[in-house]
Amino acid sequence: MRRKSYTLVLFLICLTFSNSATAQEFEFFGVIKLNDTSLISYKLLFNRVNDSIQGYSLTDFSGKHETKSNIKGYYNADKNLLTFKEYDIVYTKSPVVQEDFCFVNFKGNVRDLDKVKAFSGDFKGLYTNGESCLDGVIVVNSGQEVRKRVEKIDKVIQKSKKFSDSVKQNIKVARVLDTLTRNIIAKNENLNIFTRDQNIKLAIYDAGKEDGDIINLFVDEKPVLENFTVTRAKKHMEFKLSKPATVIRVEAISEGTSSPNTVRLEVIDTRNFVRTITNLKAGEKAEMTIIKK
């Protein structure tokens, strides 16, 4: 019995070491340039296990049409070939439905993915039915390189006497990088979240310092929380999706001691996890629409 237990423990240790040795995370920031010369911010984050990659992209992050899509693909180290495609929308601020989205399909030369600081190349845009849409070019830098550049700029600004203390505080590295990764719902904005589940879980909390933010929460116009003071403790709820689209509305009642009203919202189903944050003044509202696929 001891011999079997020892063998099992040894096997699990080896398995854990093997997984940690082959799984790597990659992050890139940049833009996609469409054929009409317009530029759209673009982020890639994916894990590589052996030759396979899987993760997500963010298009127009922190913008009015921010969209998160799942991606999958392969990297052939012998041929220095990276291929990936967006195939499923997790959420979007854009009002169009998934069938109308133009998904990025990339195939290009990326030498030594483990060490690459930047890469670029042409991509093809395809609808979900395989028909062509907008093509363009991807230009991205590694997250590590972006952080180095921001840190250099930050050091120059912090030492300069030309900028006020308030400006220096706003341009700190942590604040800039947080802006690049946060999903913010502003006044009158709607975030469409796609799911295949019949039920979703929702968590509400104050992600920063508790300052007395008060909200009302409605689900399909029915009040669920009224004059609710948000704290660091998560308020958990679960909703059954009985309709094709379920609208969750947040109304800011009070901005607390520190403006604006910033409430963290997390939507969880069996496949995806979406985290967003409101940025509202008293009397303003923002919505999330849960759409069943």
Give how far the C-alpha of residue 92 lies from the chain's centroid of Cα atoms, to the nearest Å. 10
Place of tokens 């993915």: 113
φ/ψ (deg, to 5) at 84: -155, 160
What is the reported pLDDT for 4?
43
Q: What is the reported pTM?
A: 0.79
pLDDT for 258 equals 86
The rounded average pLDDT for each run of 10 residues, N- to C-terminus, in the chain (293 residues) is 42 41 82 84 94 94 88 96 95 81 95 93 93 93 81 71 65 53 83 94 89 95 96 95 94 91 93 90 95 89
Tell me the C-alpha distance between 145 and 5, whole Å: 46
Up-side HSE of residue 108: CA atoms within 13 Å toward CB?
Answer: 18
pLDDT at site 207: 76
How do 273-279 and 67-76 pair as beta strands? unpaired
Q: Which residues contact 150 (CB under 8 A, 6 or more apart)?
A: 173, 176, 177
* 3-class state of residue 66 by DSSP: coil
Nearest-angstrom CA–CA distance, 110 and 116: 8
Domains and CATH numbers, the chain: 23-143 (2.40.128), 183-292 (no CATH)
| Amino acid 171: pLDDT | 55
Which residue type occupies 237?
Answer: M
- 34 and 55 in contact (C-beta within 8 Å)? no
Residue 289 Cα to chain centre, angstroms:
17
Among candidate residues 46, 215, 225, 76, the one with its CA nearest the CA of residue 143:
46
pLDDT of residue 149: 73
